[in-house]
C-alpha cells in the first residue's frame, strides 16, 4: 500500500498574514488579503494585489540581520515561512545539518536588482545584490540563514515551481536519496512582474473571480510556504499532518504563456498524480484548482478536469482570490491550504464567483463547506506548459 511521504511541518506567509493560524482564520472567515500596492512602489496603482504588509526593514529587524546584508524580499519571506515549518516539525540544529532544501522561485531577488540597476555602473555600494537576479541566490540565502546543510537546489518552472519542489522532495525520499527535506517556494512582488503581466493583458483591475463567465484576469500576490517532508522511520514518533501521496508533471508544449484549450498538459499531470497515488478519480474529495481567473487558464483547466472526472466532478475551488497569484510560491501556499482542508474537513470558498462559464457550467464551491476530506488534488500550472498536480492525503 502506498502510504506516501510524511509531512511533519508547514509554514506560510501571505497577504492573509504570517503563520499557518493567521492564514487559516482568514480562509474560514472568507476574508481575502487583496488590497492596492503600498510596499511595492509602482505607477500601476489601479491593480489590486495580494501584498504582505510588512516592510523589508521590519523583517530585517525581526531576523536580526547585519548591516550591508544581501537578503532580498523573497529570501526574507522564505526565511519567515521556513522557520515556522522547522519549528512546527520540531527539527533541531543537528537534524538541520543533514536536511535537504528545495525551493521554487520565479523572480528571485529581482526586487533588489531592479531597484539598484541604474546605480550599478556609477557605484559599487549595492553590488552585493547583482547575483540576486538568479533564483538560486534566494535559495542559498534562506539555507544559509537557517543553517540547512543538506542537498540544496532551486526549481524555477514559473507558477508550478513550488509544486515541483514538493514533488522532487517526495521523489527523492521515496528513492532513498534523502531522509528529510524542506520543500516549497517564495516570490515577492516586483515592478518587473507587474509590468510583465500587464503587458500580457491578463491583470484585472478588480478582485479576481476564477471560473466566472465574466472573469477578466488575475491579481498578483507575494508570499512563501514550506513543508517538512520526512521518511517514514524518521516521522514515526512525530505528529504527521498529512502525506504527499501522488504527483504528476507534464508539458503539452503548446505556447510560451498560454495553456492549450483542451488542457492536455493539465489532464496528463492529474492523471499521472492519480496513478502514482494508486487511487481512482472518484476518491478525490476536493480539487484546489490553479484557477487564475484568466480567460485562457480557467477554460483549459476546466476542460482537463471534465475529461478526467467523467462522472462526477469533485468539490472544487481556487484560493487565489484570497492571496493573489503568488507565482512560484503558489503551489506551496496551496499545499498548506490543502493540508488545512484535510485536517479540518473543510472546502475553502472560491471567492467573487457569480456566473458559471457558458462553455462548461462549472460550479465551484462559493461558501465554506464542511465535509469529510481524505484526498485533495492541488493543481499548479505555469508558463511554458509546466503543469504539475499533487495529491495530499490524511495520515493513514
* pLDDT per residue as tens digits for the range 69-118: 999 999 999 999 999 999 999 999 999 989 999 999 999 999 988 887 88
* pLDDT per residue as tens digits for the range 176-233: 999 999 999 999 999 999 999 999 999 999 999 999 999 999 999 999 999 999 999 9
Mean pLDDT across the stretch 15-30?
98
Tell me, what's the pLDDT at 394?
96
Of the two residues 238 and 118, the one the predictor is more confident about is: 238
Among 145, 159, 208, 387, which one carries the catalytic annotation? 159
Q: Which residue has the cell 505607477?
A: 43
Q: Beta-carbon neighbour count of residue 281 at 10 Å?
A: 17
pLDDT band at 67 (very low <50, low <70, confident <90, very high): confident
Spatial contact of 139 and 105, defined as CB atoms under 8 Å apart: yes
255 is a catalytic site residue: no
Spatial contact of 109 and 139, defined as CB atoms under 8 Å apart: no
* pLDDT per residue as tens digits for the range 118-128: 888 888 878 88
325 is a catalytic site residue: yes
Cell matching residue 266: 493539465
Mean pLDDT across the stretch 342-365?
97
Mean pLDDT across the stretch 282-292?
97
Q: Does 384 score more than 80 pLDDT?
A: no
Mean pLDDT across the stretch 26-46?
96
Among 145, 188, 208, 325, which one carries the catalytic annotation? 325
Average pLDDT along the chain: 94
126 is a catalytic site residue: no
Tell me, what's the pLDDT at 257?
66
* pLDDT per residue as tens digits for the range 317-353: 999 999 999 999 999 999 999 999 999 999 999 999 9
Instruction: Report the helix count and the strand count for the chain, using DSSP H and E.
Output: 13, 16
Supply the angle between the helices 264-277 and 295-308 in degrees, to the nearest 10: 40
Tell me, what's the pLDDT at 1?
61
Among 145, 188, 208, 290, which one carries the catalytic annotation? 290
What are the angstrom distances between the C-alpha of 17 and each of 12, 26, 192, 193, 378? 8, 8, 24, 22, 21
Amino acid at each position: 500500500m502506498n502510504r506516501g511521504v510524511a509531512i511533519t511541518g508547514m509554514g506560510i506567509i501571505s497577504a492573509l498574514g504570517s503563520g499557518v493560524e493567521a492564514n487559516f482564520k482568514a480562509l474560514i472567515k472568507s476574508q481575502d488579503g487583496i488590497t492596492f500596492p503600498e510596499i511595492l512602489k509602482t505607477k500601476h496603482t489601479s491593480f489590486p494585489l495580494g501584498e504582505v504588509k510588512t516592510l523589508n526593514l521590519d523583517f530585517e529587524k525581526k531576523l536580526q540581520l547585519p548591516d550591508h546584508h544581501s537578503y532580498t524580499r523573497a529570501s526574507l519571506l522564505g526565511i519567515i515561512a521556513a522557520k515556522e515549518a522547522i519549528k512546527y516539525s520540531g527539527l533541531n540544529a543537528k537534524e538541520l545539518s543533514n536536511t535537504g532544501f528545495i525551493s521554487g522561485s520565479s523572480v528571485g531577488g529581482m526586487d533588489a536588482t531592479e531597484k539598484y540597476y541604474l546605480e550599478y555602473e556609477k557605484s559599487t555600494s549595492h553590488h552585493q545584490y547583482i547575483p540576486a537576479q538568479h533564483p538560486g541566490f534566494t535559495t542559498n540565502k534562506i539555507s544559509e540563514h537557517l543553517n540547512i546543510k543538506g542537498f540544496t537546489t532551486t526549481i524555477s518552472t514559473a507558477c508550478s515551481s513550488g509544486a515541483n519542489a514538493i514533488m522532487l522532495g517526495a521523489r527523492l525520499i521515496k528513492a532513498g536519496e534523502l531522509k528529510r527535506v524542506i520543500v516549497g517556494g517564495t516570490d515577492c512582488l516586483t515592478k518587473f512582474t507587474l509590468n510583465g503581466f500587464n503587458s500580457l493583458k491578463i491583470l484585472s483591475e478588480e478582485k479576481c473571480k476564477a471560473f466566472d463567465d465574466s472573469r477578466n484576469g488575475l491579481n498578483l500576490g507575494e508570499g512563501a510556504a514550506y513543508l517538512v517532508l520526512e521518511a517514514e522511520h524518521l516521522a514515526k514518533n512525530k505528529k504527521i499532518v498529512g502525506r504527499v501521496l501522488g504527483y504528476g508533471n507534464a508539458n503539452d508544449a503548446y505556447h510560451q504563456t498560454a495553456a492549450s484549450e483542451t488542457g492536455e498538459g493539465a489532464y496528463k499531470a492529474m492523471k499521472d498524480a492519480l496513478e502514482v497515488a494508486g487511487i481512482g478519480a472518484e476518491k478525490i474529495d476536493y480539487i484546489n484548482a490553479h484557477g487564475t481567473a484568466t480567460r485562457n487558464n480557467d477554460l483549459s483547466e476546466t476542460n482537463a478536469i471534465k475529461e478526467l472526472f467523467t462522472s462526477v466532478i469533485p468539490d472544487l475551488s481556487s484560493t487565489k482570490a484570497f492571496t493573489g497569484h503568488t507565482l512560484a510560491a503558489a503551489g506551496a501556499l496551496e499545499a498548506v491550504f490543502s493540508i488545512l482542508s484535510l485536517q479540518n474537513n473543510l472546502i475553502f470558498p472560491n471567492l467573487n464567483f457569480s456566473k458559471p462559464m457558458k462553455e462548461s457550467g462549472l460550479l465551484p464551491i462559493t461558501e465554506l463547506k464542511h465535509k469529510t476530506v481524505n484526498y485533495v488534488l492541488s493543481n499548479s500550472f505555469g508558463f511554458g506548459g509546466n503543469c504539475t498536480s499533487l495529491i495530499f492525503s490524511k495520515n493513514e
